[in-house]
Amino acid sequence: MRIDVLTIFPQYLAPLELSLIGKAQRDGLLDVRVHDLREFAHDRHRTVDDTPYGGGAGMVMKPEPWAAALDALVAPAKGSAVAVASASASATPLLIVPGPAGRPFTQAFAAELATRPWLAFACGRYEGIDERVYEYAADDLGLRVEVVSLGDYVLNGGEVAVLAMVEAIARLVPGVVGNAESLVEESHSDGLLEYPVYTKPASWRGRDVPPVLLGGDHGRIAAWRRERSIERTVARRPDLLPAAALTGLPSDDVEG
């Protein structure tokens, strides 16, 4: 999977070199390319923002640097090595713009994005990006554009959100997570929150591991974990329960 990130703070994305995502890059499973938007601002001060039409607080990102950056991404100079390589992979990236006004980022959406050969993230700062950039990307460059939000709060820019989204997506790309079984039982994989987990010692500071987990009866353990998942979801995320019930998985326990 190829991932391009356009940002005025390339250093913000440095953690993508670490841990599982860094290893996946070295293993050739991920190809992450971070680009400095200011390289595409051609005035003396490399300006990327300006005051909003209609007035109001803050600044808006200018369309010209964004268009130049997206042009370079989608239609690299003809005959270049990049043009040849990307033409064989996938013609255009899916363009993701992180922002609090976006569609919610979920595990299901992460799984869909993990099947894509090429994603591009456009990190806005300030009050946002001139609206015409979205139209240009869709209408003139033919990109699918998705504004995506991590949740109902406001970050200063898209960079931290990209770190979170890339981690959630990349770990679903086959081979990135060594033990694929660990993807099956985690939170949100069946619409419920994950059950509590324990390790040695069996007794610690007067607190014992639930005895059922020590018994080796895998049927009883699975039933216990299902109950704890439902209990925890009821307590912390009751909004998830209608969708989880529709999967049919926990319905036996809900009735009993």
Residues in the site for ligand 6GU, rule: CB under 6 A?
A: 98-100, 148-151, 153-155, 157-158, 161
Q: Which residue, 128 or 250, has its beta carbon nearer to ligand 6GU?
A: 128
Minimum Å gap between C-beta 59 and ligand 6GU is 14
Q: How far is the CB of 141 from ligand 6GU (least distance, A)?
A: 21
**Cα angle for residues 78, 84, 89 (degrees, 5° grid):** 130
Task: Take residue 41 and report the two structure tokens written for it.
Answer: 């601002």
Element (DSSP H or E) covering residue 86:
helix 81-89
The backbone region for 207, taken as left when phi is positive above 0, alpha when psi lies in -120 to 50, beta otherwise, is beta
Please report, for residues 13, 88, 206, the alpha-carbon distance to residue 123 in angstroms, rounded to integers and kept in the order given: 11, 26, 49
Name the residue nearer to ligand 6GU (CB basis): 151 or 215: 151
Find the helix or strand (DSSP H, E) in which 125 lies. Answer: none
- Distance of closest approach, residue 68 Cβ to ligand 6GU, in angstroms: 22
Please state the closest distance from residue 106 (CB atom) to ligand 6GU, in A.
12
37's CB contacts (< 8 A; 6+ apart) are: 6, 7, 8, 48, 65, 66, 69, 123
Give min distance, CB of 149 to ligand 6GU, in A. 4
Q: Which residue, 146 or 227, is less far from ligand 6GU as judged by CB? A: 146
**What is the β-pairing status of strands 60-61 and 49-50?**
antiparallel
Distance of closest approach, residue 16 Cβ to ligand 6GU, in angstroms: 16
Q: Which is nearer to ligand 6GU, 29 or 155 (CB)?
A: 155
Residue type, 190: D
Contact 117, 2 (CB under 8 A): yes
Distance from C-alpha of 210 to C-alpha of 194, rounded to nearest angstrom: 16
Closer of 159 and 192 to ligand 6GU (Cβ):
159
Q: How far apart are CA 218 and CA 224, in angstroms?
A: 10
- Please, which residue, 120 or 244, has the CB nearer to ligand 6GU? 120
